[in-house]
Amino acid sequence: MTLAERFPQYRIGRGTYGGDLVVFSWNEGAVLEIGHYTSIGPGVRIFLGGEHRTDWVTTFPFNWLWPCAQHYTGHPKTKGDVVIGSDVWIGAEAMIMSGVTIGDGAVIGARAVVARNVPPYAIVVGNPARFLRCRFDEKTIDRLLALRWWDWPEADIAHAMPDLLSGRISSFLEKAETGSYRFCKGTFA
């Protein structure tokens, strides 16, 4: 069963996979969106909310657990949607908190706790997650983001496979930008 089949209430892109992903949601209206071809390691947890109020007298969620307090709202809370780009790798047991956007091509280290946005093609590690480095230089990142290979038809992706599965980034970019991978006539979707 694919992630999209396991979680039909969320937007999960083509080819995205992950074994025992757990998504915590308390029906606070936050949405989960994951792009195409994202790899999610074992034990990853995504929180769409459930954050306890530190600005109230108590952090305890009485309104969720005591019937007489159900009319109180605003606890637990969410910081918003979680948006994970395409071609992202999320390492084992990482935690993604509500309100976070992870850019295309990013890498999240194992057991990282991500509470802030992650730029495209950045590598973050630790608790809290901190920027380690970018996977490529800025010009290469801009070119990859412009190409959006993950949106190509599958036939074109298959045609590009020898370069996609290599360290030949210059070759890939040159061929992609000149249309060499177009299996079908026309432009990329």
Instruction: Give residue-wise pLDDT tens across range 33-86.
Output: 999 999 999 999 999 998 888 999 999 989 889 999 989 888 778 899 999 999
Q: What is the pLDDT, as a whole number, of residue 185?
A: 47
Q: What is the pLDDT, as a whole number, of residue 187?
A: 47
Convert the pLDDT of each residue in 79-131 to its tens digit. Answer: 999 999 999 999 999 999 999 999 999 999 999 999 999 999 999 999 999 99
Tokens found for residue 96: 């993604």
Respond yes or no: is residue 75 known to be catalytic.
no
Q: In whole angstroms, give the CA distance from residue 23 to residue 28.
A: 13
Question: How does strand 122-125 pair with strand 130-134?
Answer: antiparallel
Domains and CATH numbers, the chain: 3-134 (2.160.10.10), 152-177 (no CATH)
Listed residue (88, 104, 95) closest to 38, CA to CA: 88
Q: Please, are residues 76 and 49 in contact by the beta-carbon 8 Å criterion?
A: yes
Q: Which of 36, 52, 71, 159 is catalytic?
A: 52
H/E element, 89: strand 89-90
State yes or no: pLDDT of 189 exceeds 60. Answer: no
Residues counted in the chain: 189
Tokens found for residue 169: 């980034």
pTM over 0.85: yes
How far is C-alpha 169 from the chain's CA centre?
Answer: 22
- Residues 6 or more apart whose CB falls under 8 angstroms from that of 140 comprise 169, 173
